[in-house]
Amino acid sequence: MATLELLSHTPFGNEHPYQQDPDERFPRQPLAGQPVQLGVRTFPPSAANRVWATCQLTSQEGLQETITAQAALTAQGGTEAETMQFATSTVRLGGTRPGDTWRVPLPGFAPGTQVTYQVHASNSHQQLDSSHYSFSTAHWLPATHLAGYRLDSGSLFLTFSSAAVGIQPALQTSLQIQLSGPEQVSFHLHGTANPGQHAPATSFAWQVLEQTPQRVRLASGSISLDLATDPYHLRISRDDKTLLATSALPHWLANSPGQLPGAVRLSFDSPQQESFHGLGERYHAYNLRGSSLDASVYEQYKNQNIHTYLPVPFFLSSQGYGFYIQTARFSTFDLAASDPHTWQFQAELDPQSSLSFQLYAAPQPRLNVQLFSRQVGLPTMPPDWAFGHWISSNEWNSQAVVLEQVRKSQQLDIPATVLVIEAWADEKTFYIWNDAQYTPKPADQPLTLSDFTFPPDGLWPDPKAMVDELHRNGTRLLLWQIPVLKNLAGEPHPQQDIDEAYMLAQGYHLKWPDGSPYRVRPFWFHGSLLPDFNNPAAAAWWMSKRAYLLDELGIDGFKTDGGEHLWGREVVFANGLRGDQGLNLYPNLYVGAYHRYLTEKTNGDALTFSRAGFTGAQAFPCHWAGDENSTWEAFRSSLRAGINAGLSGIPFWGWDLAGFSGEIPTAELYLRSAAMAAFCPIMQYHSEFNDHRSPLRDRTPWNIAERTGQPEVLDFYRQFVKTRLRIMPYIVSEARYCAETGEPLMRPLFLDWPNDPQAWLISDQYSFGRGLLVAPVLEPGCTERRLYLPPGQWRDFWTDTTYTGAQWITIPAPLDRIPAFIRMDGSWPLLLR
């Protein structure tokens, strides 16, 4: 029998948000009564013939018991890649190293049981034992009744009681309800009964309409609150129309006796016709009703479905309200998915066992978006040139290729306003040009342009001349970035080695609680160091490496890609922030550091272009929808993502038109996507790196025309670009309105026609600014488009034909046009030819 070399059990594994490795604990944090399985791997294959666990149980009463559980072999002799059904990454356990996979089944345990266990593996002549691990079984503790209420300093305090479970003492918790504006109700949950006043006092006070032990009715302007104590019911209304109502008492996640709750679950009534919109950049649905979603930053490479790079825990309801949870910790939304009559949220509490959330109760949905945006921060207006025509490809990996493509754009009269170069750097430092020659310098002495020699026959013989030529021709330049110090896995790189040693010595990286460096757990740039942008010194050092790109080369910004590299709840930031919040906040910290540096260097005439973010990401424009295939379904999902992102405070958004990955799109898909992109906040084509294969997969219009054998692609694409440039004054004007109000540039119809029931149902049309209605063609083979014109007078953007709204019409939709209409019940001179 082979020698048993390794026994592997890691209770939390990589802390992948959605998948588990085969040697993890299932689930990672067991609840009371929930069966548990301990995943185990042994190496090499067939070296172990027995795996088991010994468990010491300590009940809430202090009673102790020892149990032994035998493992079952679930996969033998295969590589990790073959046996790992629960994770996409195989790097943590050494790639494809072969080994056996086992499962140790444990029963469910009573609430509050402390379980300490050890895993063992043996064969006929040896035994390996794991470290000791432990967990405590948490349980959801429902409030059993409303114990009372009080009015104090303009706030209504509700006190809830939960009955004892076993020897778990009864729990008293509270909910503070306060007016924080004439149309904004603030809620503050506390895991204790007497927290004091959580929110600051405001000048907005409730008027008491009725107050008895059984009922209290309050009002302020058009907003009213009605509380019944037994049976419990809470209703908040505007002009006698119910916005938010619940008769469900809170549920609290209790751990050990005497500890404060760790999470809360609240449910609210939901009429069958209620729809939900927003929650960040959501790809899978326009109306989120029936969805169960979390607010977690996550990199889903293509086919995002319910996952998102850019979550925001804010939504708009067709009932007339907006709802926002003020947390970066883990939260979920069940939008009538489990129960068709209710929606609910679940959220982790802060260390003081509290949570705040907001109800926005303005009479129009766009005003609720404004209220939310003003609370979390209005969008920053990007430079006007951001609204031009963007071009990019990962195949453009040399100065010669870049200039060839830009010159071809000019020759074909398809102006390029913004160029993004991804394959410019050595992809190790992300600040040194490929094949540039230099002498490494101390890490605290940034390289300057004069430190480099660029070989005349190299990839980038004269970056300064290239940037100057781009600028002379009206093209701005952004360079690709990733927020990692790459793990080179033994590959020599003197400057990178110097930088890494310095970063480790200065502690400029994220850390584990014991001070050891956090290294990237996801597959992309696995093992790399992650800079701590919460440390001002670390951020200044990181950005100083890039100073010459701005000061001497004159680039115009960065494509701030990535930001989803943090998995680990216990990871520590310089200011005490931990990974339980940092997972969501990291992309904002990263992009924010770049944005502030650019603003300082260029007086605001530069921008970031980001994939990931969280609440407040609008402070750092602009954003794009991430990686996607060239398919019609991806096209439709991108439309949904753009509308939901705009409703979540992210107005300056775009996507890789017609997709960036895989085989090129058909000419039809390309042109339909280009047509929509011309009427989107950001218009960009981009294509994925494809190893210089022939034929090229560039998404340039000339490559699509050549590859598909349809030369008209060039003419039609040129027309869309020229149309966009013609209406740029309108786009910029509407973008300024977005920056002033927080309203989206890409607007669902209900934002401007909230009283029209049709406007809430239509997911495949939108307004581009307040003066243009756009109806993209989203299916192949269509030559006409049926669409809805909301109430008002309309003029066809292309033909000047006029229509009266509040009706469905069918119009021709040739490939060189996208159905678009100018709203005539307003003043939009910038749209008129």
Q: Which residues are catalytic?
A: 561, 564, 627
Rg (CA), the chain: 29
What long-range pairs does 151-156 form, CB within 8 A, spacing at least 24? 151/206, 151/208, 151/211, 151/216, 152/197, 153/197, 153/201, 154/178, 154/179, 154/201, 154/202, 154/204, 154/205, 154/206, 155/197, 155/199, 156/206, 156/216, 156/218, 156/225, 156/227
Q: How far apart are CA 672 and CA 658, in angstroms?
A: 8
Query: Do the beta carbons of residue 625 and residue 635 sit within 8 Å?
Result: no
The span from the CA of 312 to the CA of 744, in Å, is 15
**DSSP helix/strand/coil, 56:** strand
10 Å CB burial of residue 232 (0-12, 13-18, 19+) is: middle
DSSP state of 402: H
Among candidate residues 259, 254, 316, the one with its CA nearest the CA of residue 282: 316
Residues 6+ apart with CB under 8 A from 641: 281, 282, 283, 304, 308, 625, 655
Residues 428 and 436: beta-carbon distance below 8 Å: no
CA–CA gap between residue 442 and residue 450 (Å, rounded): 16
C-alpha closest to that of 607 among 379, 373, 278:
379
The one-character DSSP state at 453 is: B
Task: Determine the distance from the C-alpha atom of residue 415 to the mean position of all C-alpha atoms in its chain, rounded to a whole number.
Answer: 32
Give the tokens for residue 159. 């006190």
Cα gap 311→568, rounded to integer Å: 18
The H or E element that residue 655 is part of is: strand 653-656
Three-class HEC string of 493-527: CHHHHHHHHHHHHHCCECECCCCCECECCCCCCCC
Distance of CA 743 to the CA centre of its chain: 19
Crossing angle for the helix pair 712-726 and 667-677, to the nearest 10 degrees: 10
H or E stretch including 634?
Answer: helix 632-647
SS (H, E, C) 185-248: EEEEEECCCCCCCCCCCCCCCCEEEEEECCEEEEEECCEEEEEEECCEEEEEEECCEEEEEECC
Question: What is the distance between the alpha carbons of residues 823 and 775, in angstroms, rounded to a whole number?
Answer: 14
Instruction: Read off the DSSP letter of residue 382.
Output: P
Give the span between the Cα atoms of 383 and 377, in whole angstroms.
18
Q: Given the structure tokens 């004091």, which residue do they identify? A: 196
| C-alpha to C-alpha distance for 663 and 540, rounded to whole angstroms | 41
Cα end-to-end distance, the chain, whole Å: 84
Q: Cβ(708)–Cβ(668) under 8 Å?
A: no
Query: Do the beta carbons of residue 369 and residue 643 sit within 8 Å?
Result: no
Range list of β-strands (E), 318-392? 322-325, 331-335, 342-348, 354-360, 389-392
| CA–CA dist 121, 748 (Å, integer) | 59
